[in-house]
Structure 1
């Protein structure tokens, strides 16, 4: 009988050591180190253990093996600790975009055709022609936070209103709209 683990959302599934192996390899450890950690973890598990407890144990062992890989391994956790408000997440996203050559402006008020909108990030880049992106950030670090179709539709409606306003000379024109979310919780369909 397979060992059962309890996921963060409360669902139960079989323990899959290959998931730990895959994430360890993505964090940059050697295959030998990843196998060593997986074997140590496997020997400490019990039926009904939570994935959070497994993560805690993996991080502990990884810190002892390779501290840099341990920092990369918990990038999702680091992003979740940016809260409780969304402002640090917006700042983080703007900095990442800056590293990719975008000029960014945070929390700008822009006039649309019907409404004034606060845009989380305006990102601009020159690649042959200027591209201006409206970036909406959704930060959730608590259980139950979801992003669903209404958030996507609302963001797109704002994009349309802003571009209609720009044709009337009221505000900025945007070439693209992006929705950037934390991945603590799945996108609800």
Structure 2
């Protein structure tokens, strides 16, 4: 039956329901085969023509959460990154932290002089005598992709900064520009980025080293994945620059500050430890 079901994506596009995609996202949560099979059977029974992918996701998420909360946390990673909004600043902090965990020193919101004008750069990263500038394109709504205008704009900013950088003696070389987004790049954007020499990083690109792969590999889950913290608590933590779940391991100061009971605190920290152990 599921072969003939059409589902509606967040972009409004109609696509054929894919059992394989649902299974892959459930497997990604870390749930065992028996749990995945049970959830697939339940979701399949509730399919109907024109069901939204959001509705399918909500159903699978609720069933996972009932089983183990940290399975549900891993499953909601993509949605959790949208929840870092709406300003995009926590996303910039999040990306800076990912660079930091891969050996870079980072600065967020740094002003750099270009040949023509000054530029506020989202993340400046330093490693092995090289400087990298990173522009973060955050969307708080699903279904909005990064089109070719984004790498075009970033490439011109990078060129302006590099021309000034190369004209003055510096301790480090400015040798790469990145564009990072929490959504996807259009084909034109990918083609232009590759052609001009920009490094592009999105939710699912590059294939084996995309944002989702890096987060899983390093256990760098944003605080918004937690299914045990309330939205108010998450916003409080983000406002104090606590962006990663693992920031709370071994330092429950902020949880104490929130007035969370010892029993609940233990559950939250236990959940986070299971989640962040890559």
Q: TM-score, normalised by structure 1?
A: 0.90
Unaligned runs of 5+ in 2: 189-278
Q: Does 1:36 align with 2:38?
A: yes
Q: Quick one: distance in 2 between partners of 1:108 and 1:131?
A: 16
Q: Quick one: distance in 1 between partners of 2:33 and 2:134?
A: 38
Q: TM-score, normalised by structure 2?
A: 0.63
The alpha carbon displacement at 1:173 in A equals 4.5
Q: Quick one: distance in 2 between partners of 1:131 and 1:40?
A: 52
Residue 60 of structure 1, aligned match among 59, 62, 77: 62
Q: Quick one: distance in 1 between partners of 2:127 and 2:23?
A: 38
Instruction: Name the counterpart of 1:99.
Output: 101
**Residues 3-42 of structure 1, C-alpha deviations (whole Å, 9 max, x = no match):** 2211111121222111110111112112222111101111
Q: Does 1:177 align with 2:139?
A: no
**Residues 30-84 of structure 1, C-alpha deviations (whole Å, 9 max, x = no match):** 2222111101111112221111000000000010112111101111111101111
Q: Is the 8 A contact 1:159 1:174 kept in 2?
A: no
Residue 79 of structure 2, aligned match among 64, 73, 77: 77
Q: Is the 8 A contact 1:132 1:174 kept in 2?
A: yes
Q: Is the 8 A contact 1:146 1:186 kept in 2?
A: yes
Q: Quick one: distance in 2 between partners of 1:69 and 1:159?
A: 40
Instruction: Name the counterpart of 1:157.
Output: 156
Structure with the larger helix share = 2
Instruction: Name the counterpart of 1:19.
Output: 21
Structure with the larger strand share = 1
Instruction: Assess, with a 3 A threshold, how the Cα gap between structure 1 residues 76 and 123 changes in structure 2: closer, same or farther.
Output: same
Instruction: Assess, with a 3 A threshold, how the Cα gap between structure 1 residues 144 and 46 changes in structure 2: closer, same or farther.
Output: closer
Q: Quick one: distance in 1 between partners of 2:48 and 2:115?
A: 59
Aligned length: 185
